[in-house]
Structure 1
Amino acid sequence: MQNQRVKASSAQLKYLFDFMKANQECFAGRGSGLLGKLEIERQWQQLTETLNGMGGPVKSVDKWKQTWRDVRNSLRKKATKYKKEVKWDTPGGTGNGPSRLNSAETRNLRVTAAPPAVPNKQKDKEINLCAEASNSTSDPLDKPRIIFRKLVKEKLATAESKRELIKEELEERKLRKQILREELQNKRELHELEKKERLLRLEILRTELRNKRN
């Protein structure tokens, strides 16, 4: 009872299988290198957010990974127990005797079946397969997230442009103030020169008048 796991809803399990089917190339490769593993972890995080928002049990990423392992292993065991061979051509097809798998289980079993090993020359493409599978995911939240990130980038770029514009305006105002100060200083100096010139003229006139009297 202590280790009893909370059972996911049928809607959550259906979405889980649909997600794995849409991203089969990515999860089958298990990630090549650090980038591949990071991409898979990002996919699990995205899947967890969606599953937890469907109204069923809320689980952590690790718990959903365990759920996937449980349902996958359970389905494989059931197929092995009741059938030695499953014909993939037709849902519910029989091998040695009547099939005990319904059409949904047969379809889901295809998703859990391990694909052929990837040749060495193709392993460099595994990360690209993850990225392509990510782009094809039917998660309805993907498009709003992309639009939101784009809007944030645009707003940041606009804010940066505004900061640069304000900085230029402040520099321009500073330059204008400096020019005004210099103009005022020049006016004061000109005024002093004109004043001295007037005084000099008056002195010359006085001198001329004194000379005439003498």
Structure 2
Amino acid sequence: MNITFIGYGNVGAPLADHLQKLGHNVTLAARDTQSDAVQKVQARNAQIKAAPIEQAVREADIVFLATPYSANADIMAPLADALAGKIIVDCTNPVGAGLSHGLNSAQSGSEALQALAPRAKVVKAFTIYGFENFENNAYPAYNVKPVMMYCGDDAEAKQTVGGLIEQLGWQPLDVGGLVQALHLEHMTLLWVRMVRMNGANPNMVWAMITR
């Protein structure tokens, strides 16, 4: 599968690395394909390519968006045509002052993103945790996999993303339509407050246990 990353910092870089090692063709969308950020990822995994942003998006089956949320509008506007029909995996979270919801909980960041790219298929995933658990999500002392919740309005797109989640070692949990993204964003804020503010162990995940 051809997977492009827009944003490859603490969240995007480990996901790009792991997905390439699983056999996917991974490309970094870059204004400068020789930038320090690109070279840092390629030093970690030389099999990851870089290409100009629009080219990388047009050649992708799936686009991972892992930028700071505030950059989304500027990034998406010129890519509306290139993103038509593509799956966008939204890894971003709108964060406001004092670790509040950046859109005042009136709308999720994913719904705002869908409005920016109306012909794309947005799936919210790979949030609810800090970057530590994207580097390593193995918890061998427990007989459960950590859960990765995701949501979106397109069933086929969700099935594809759910498959990637499973390949990456998570227990995929489809929690419904894109309207649920707001709740996942609040789960991210909960995790961040617990870990970054209150000192909980960053190697902390949610699990799904059923009878």
| TM-score bin, normalised by smaller chain | under 0.3
Q: When you count helix as a share of all residues, which structure comes out higher? A: 1
Q: When you count strand as a share of all residues, which structure comes out higher? A: 2
- Structure showing greater radius of gyration is 1
Query: TM-score, structure 2 length as denominator?
Result: 0.21
